[in-house]
Structure 1
Amino acid sequence: MKRRNASHDYSLRSLQSILGVSRRVLSGLIDAGFVQPSRGRRNELRFTFRDVVLLRTAFQLQSAKIASRKILRALARLKAELPEELPLTGIRITAVGDSVVVKTGESQWDATSGQLLLDLEVAPVKGEVAFLDAAPRNIVGREKQTEEWFALAEELTDTDVIGAEQAYKKVLELSPIPHYDAYNNLGVLLCEVGMKYDEALSVFDRALEHFPEDALLHFNRAVALEELERYDAAVQAYERCIELNPTHADAHFNIARLSEIRGDKQSLLRHLSAYRRLSR
């Protein structure tokens, strides 16, 4: 993944794009002393990752009508807690009053109580800094946030399972339409990494309410049932998968295994034969 270093490598223009605010607003935040950018070779303003986060936080607190002196105190504490670079797992910033807290790793997903003035995740989405607000206001915002949360979930899968799980759940919460990949990926993640088979089964059941004719969802649901030792139900789910996709070799193989466990020799031979034929 492309990573930015701790040097002053954000221009004013890139900052506008990242933060989604006008040049006038940015200039006002800088003039208020919320950050102290350096100067580049051509005397242009340059900003660090910390500056980006501080400005985003200052803008949101200012929008919440917090007094500048309180914002400055909060930002001083925030700056002391911020890492020089954005971790792969991202960070979460919350603010209650003028108390600002940075959370990393598993703690970033902890529930936060109180009247939040600020609650956002800062994440490396597709190699860039992305600010993921908790509650986008319209459909376009929800669609954009859905894409960003999904990208984050995929990137976190290998480094932060809890973060990936929460990000996929955020996709399902935000997406204006049922999100097939988020349902499937979350269910698989819960099974393969988290060993949360009951929860995975619930995810696949919800997914099948929206995608009842999808063979892969039926197959993955069967795997969850098998892990829960609900073998009869697992066989039924594998059989439904085969009805929808007769060439699904693994479904035949898994039924053969379960047939052996259940002592059903006829089913064992039939599905093992189908598996061998399809695997040639």
Structure 2
Amino acid sequence: MPDHGYSLREVQRMLGVSRSVVEKLVAAEFVSPSGERRDWRFTFQDIVMLRTAQALRVAGVSPVKIIRALDHLRKSWGHEGSLTGVRIAAVGDRVTVRDEASRQWDAETGQLLLDFDGKPAATNIASLQAPLANRAREDATALFYRARSLEEENIDAAESEYRAALARVPDYTDASLNLGGILMDTERFDDAIAVYREALRYRPNDPVLLFNVGVALEDSGRFGEALRSYELCIEHAPDFADAHFNAARIHEELGDAAKAIRHFNAYRNLQKGS
């Protein structure tokens, strides 16, 4: 992948995590961005680890268990090449790992788990297998980075490159998010909504996409639809603080004080815990 990597702003936009969450994972050395703090650059593998932590939290695994599991995974499985093909899953309140030989391990303790029914672990959260194996994805990735480099100097060219990337790989969520961001910045809200909803065809429960649809709908004045999108986001990611905040504002605008207070309280509690 290109050397410049992903910025913190892009990581937050793609994953829907707060700056403090990312900073805690950096401090714990789960991810090691390059550059100074004000200009961090994250690799694709960093994104995978951050997305894994976020997805495990959404699946109901406690932060303590996530930290212990990822720490053990990093120390025990982190030597070069060993993460290829590994799948991480939330099974109840336990984080499990399934390796290339289909053996299942407790990620927190490293204990081998016996799989009596021979079925794969339910609720797969993330795969650390290299996702850019085919030529189409390689081409789309090159277009994605070219688009990012053009955003400040030639926004029209950047938009064209993002669309070209999506033409090659329609389920390239990061390209959809960045393209939608350009369309939002240029106040083409209906076009942004269309891009986000197309992306939701491939990831229908993605809270970041649902949140962005809500923002686009709200900015276009469609408050009822925006509220439904925020509520869907919260349904799939109850700790998505900004979705609670935006839902609270709309409820307040619509005169439903009780629901507004409930979401404001949720937002404040999440901010305290972040």
TM-score with structure 2 setting the length: 0.49
| Bigger Rg, which one | 1
TM-score with structure 1 setting the length: 0.48
Give the structure with the higher percent strand.
1
